[in-house]
């Protein structure tokens, strides 16, 4: 539940916040307003379920606010918290259906009792409203569903088209002389959590509300009908048979009604004109295609006829960036993955339009790239890794390409998360499928005399430096630079036994470019200098 505290004194608002045990009453969202005018604006934006208000306030006082709530949002419960024991105030509170009148200073037990009573009353009424809505839906459900299934069959079932058209004519749903028609498809945003939450995430109730709004406008002139398309979850089809050329204007009117009722504008794809009922499948496909090719980066444009999609260049090609993605994923380094994905998203930004169709195509190209990487990395038995990749991909929530508000950042985060998950799976494969640190150790022992860095090793084995460093130290109890120096010094001790080799030559042969540095490392590890070691060895010999 949501609550709104209205008082011109901030200390009183703070006291109410502290004294009420909100969570015990099921209230999790608490907002504040300093006067009645500010409260009305907040209620218009997002109506609360409970209002706790003062009586004497600037701009609009408690009486004004009570009357406004009673007229515009009668379902809101309100409690008056006043410093005045005034009969007229109490009488008005009762008249406008207030649940309580509390005097200041506020008593903790009294205010919690009042809030509990108001919350319980709202919840009881909400249960009744929900039951009433459900009953209303059930009573009116059969006939509309029957007609909507018939209309859907005109699109999906060519074999039943004649029979369905006859039944629709007999039921007086579509006029007998219907000839030229035009279709539009309304696409509901599946990611609009606010809208779905408003209907308790009950898609049937949301569809029912939208169909009522659409048909209210269409039935004024008996120019068409809106129906739920049962071939997809979130689509409503609008069929018009009277003045089909005016369909865009009618859709603007319908969208205005939807916005007035639900606070949302919807997107419509519209077809060209065609014959009823023969062209219904083709016209439906055209309408859907217009939605699929709408430019997601263009705001405040809701009626789509496909012109933008037809002039579209085709978008940036992922294959131009595939190699960089592959190297970044194989490296396992998050910074390289972020860089590769960031470069790709930057190219999308510069390419122009972004459409649902392009997003789906890019996602298929990226998935194809991932599958190729898996087959190469896990050859000749990629099955286990493919299965793990499929399960991991399902755990990452993909942004909806049909979402009304497009976000580059959201898609970038999704692609980065997918690439990182694959990189982690490859790292795990290398760790469990082969002794990676053993291979790195052998490589170091074979190449110790060359200039060898952690960066070089990481690039060679396509593993992050952090991962190699951690695992190597776990195995050898020392880091890689120290391990290399120990190998070099051990080889130098053998070479120093040959008196014909100069000190600088020995240093270079084991990988030290500087004789002085060689001497420092030798003395650190052996406790004596190379010269002292050579003299000592000579005496022992």
Tens digits of residue pLDDT in 194-247: 999 999 999 999 999 999 999 999 999 899 999 999 998 899 999 999 999 999
Phi, psi (degrees; rounded to nearest 5) at 223: -95, -10
Q: Percent of the chain, pLDDT > 70? A: 94
In this predicted structure, the answer to whether residue 254 has a pLDDT above a threshold of 90 is: yes
pLDDT for 141 equals: 54
Phi, psi (degrees; rounded to nearest 5) at 128: -65, -40
pLDDT for 536 equals: 87
Question: In angstroms, how far apart are the furthest CA atoms of the chain?
Answer: 119
Residue 456 token pair: 């070089």
pLDDT for 431 equals: 58
Which DSSP string do the residues of 66-119 spell out, in sequence order? HHHHHHH-TT-EEEEEES---HHHHHHHHHTT-SEEEESSPPHHHHHHHHHHHH
pLDDT for 432 equals: 54
- Give the single-character DSSP code of 399: P
pLDDT for 393 equals: 86
Residue 304 token pair: 């789509």
Tens digits of residue pLDDT in 490-525: 999 999 988 889 999 999 999 998 899 999 999 999
Highest mean pLDDT among 150-164, 303-317, 463-477: 150-164
pLDDT for 39 equals: 93
| pLDDT (mean) for 291-317 | 79
Q: Are 185 and 284 in contact (CB under 8 A)?
A: yes
- For tokens 């997601």, the residue is 296
Angle at 90 between CA 86 and CA 91, to 5 degrees: 115
**Strand ranges across the sheet with 29-33:** 29-33, 2-6, 50-53, 77-82, 100-103
Tens digits of residue pLDDT in 370-425: 999 998 877 666 787 888 888 888 889 999 888 888 899 999 999 999 999 999 88
pLDDT for 311 equals: 39
First-last CA distance in the chain: 91
Give the whole-angstrom CA distance, residue 538 versus residue 498.
10
| pLDDT (mean) for 48-69 | 91
Cβ neighbours for 446, distance < 8 A, ≥ 6 positions apart: none
* pLDDT tier, 541 (very low <50, low <70, confident <90, very high otherwise): very low
Residue 247 token pair: 């369909």
Element (H, E) at 31: strand 29-33
Give the whole-angstrom CA distance, residue 533 versus residue 527.
9
In this predicted structure, the answer to whether residue 437 has a pLDDT above a threshold of 90 is: no
In this predicted structure, the answer to whether residue 309 has a pLDDT above a threshold of 50 is: no
Cβ neighbours for 194, distance < 8 A, ≥ 6 positions apart: none
Chain Cα centroid distance, residue 156: 32
Number of H helices, E strands in the chain: 24, 10
Tens digits of residue pLDDT in 78-102: 999 988 888 888 888 888 888 899 9
Q: Which of the two residues, 93 and 266, has the higher pLDDT score? A: 266
Which is it for strands 2-6 and 29-33: parallel, antiparallel or unpaired? parallel
pLDDT for 433 equals: 40
pLDDT for 538 equals: 64
Element (H, E) at 268: strand 267-275
Mean pLDDT over each residue of the chain, to the nearest integer:
89
Alpha carbon of 356 to those of 39, 107, 200, 288: distances in Å?
Answer: 40, 57, 27, 11
Q: Percent of the chain, pLDDT > 90? A: 67
CB atoms within 10 A of CB 245: 10
Which residue in 88, 112, 114, 113 sits closest to 101, CA to CA? Answer: 114
Angle at 516 between CA 515 and CA 522, to 5 degrees: 85
pLDDT for 378 equals: 74
């Amino acid at each position: 539940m949501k609550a709104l505290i209205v008082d011109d004194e901030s200390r009183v608002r703070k006291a109410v916040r502290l004294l009420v045990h909100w969570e015990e009453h099921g209230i999790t969202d608490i907002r504040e307003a300093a006067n009645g005018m500010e409260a009305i604006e907040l209620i218009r934006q997002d109506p609360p379920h409970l209002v706790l208000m003062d009586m004497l306030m600037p701009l609009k006082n408690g009486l004004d606010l009570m009357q406004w709530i009673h007229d515009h949002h009668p379902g809101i419960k309100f409690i008056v918290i006043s410093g005045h024991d005034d009969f007229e105030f109490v009488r008005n509170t009762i008249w406008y259906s207030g649940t309580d009148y509390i005097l200041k200073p506020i008593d903790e037990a009294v205010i919690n009792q009042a809030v509990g009573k108001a919350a319980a009353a709202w919840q009881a009424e909400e249960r009744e409203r929900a039951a009433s809505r459900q009953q209303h839906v059930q009573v009116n459900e059969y006939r509309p569903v029957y007609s909507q299934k018939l209309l859907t069959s005109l699109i999906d079932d060519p074999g039943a088209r004649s029979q369905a058209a006859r039944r629709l004519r007999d039921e007086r749903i579509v006029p007998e002389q219907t000839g030229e028609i035009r279709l539009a498809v309304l696409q509901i945003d599946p990611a609009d959590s606010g809208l779905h939450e408003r209907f308790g995430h009950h898609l049937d109730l949301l569809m029912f509300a939208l169909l009522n709004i659409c048909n209210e406008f269409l039935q004024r002139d008996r120019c068409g009908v809106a129906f739920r398309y049962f071939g997809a979850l979130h689509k409503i089809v609008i069929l018009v048979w009277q003045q089909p050329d005016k369909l865009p204007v009618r859709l603007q009117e319908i969208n205005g009604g939807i916005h007035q009722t639900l606070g949302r504008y919807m997107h419509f794809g519209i077809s060209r004109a065609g014959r009823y009922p023969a062209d219904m499948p083709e016209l439906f496909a055209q309408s859907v295609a217009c939605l699929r090719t709408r430019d997601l980066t263009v705001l405040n444009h809701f009626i789509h006829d496909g012109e933008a999609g037809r002039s579209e260049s085709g978008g940036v090609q992922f294959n131009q960036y595939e190699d960089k993605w592959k190297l970044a994923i194989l490296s396992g380094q998050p910074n390289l993955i972020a860089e590769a994905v960031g470069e790709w998203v930057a190219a999308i930004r510069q390419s122009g339009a972004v459409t649902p169709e392009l997003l789906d195509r890019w996602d298929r190209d990226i998935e194809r790239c991932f599958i190729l990487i898996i087959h190469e990395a896990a050859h000749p038995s990629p099955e286990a890794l493919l299965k793990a990749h499929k399960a991991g991909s399902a755990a990452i929530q993909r942004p909806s390409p049909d979402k009304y508000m497009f976000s580059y950042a959201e898609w970038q985060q999704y692609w980065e998360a997918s690439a990182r998950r694959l990189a982690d799976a490859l790292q795990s494969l290398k760790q469990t499928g082969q002794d990676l640190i053993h291979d790195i150790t052998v490589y170091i022992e074979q190449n110790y005399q060359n200039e060898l860095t952690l960066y070089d090793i990481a690039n060679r084995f396509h593993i992050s430096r952090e991962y190699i460093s951690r695992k190597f130290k776990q195995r050898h109890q020392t880091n890689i630079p120290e391990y290399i120096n120990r190998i070099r010094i051990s080889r130098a001790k053998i070479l120093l036994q040959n008196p014909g080799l100069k000190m600088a030559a020995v240093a270079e042969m084991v990988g030290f470019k500087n004789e002085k540095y060689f001497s420092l490392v030798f003395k650190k590890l052996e406790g004596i200098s190379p010269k002292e070691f050579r003299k000592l060895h000579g005496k022992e010999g």
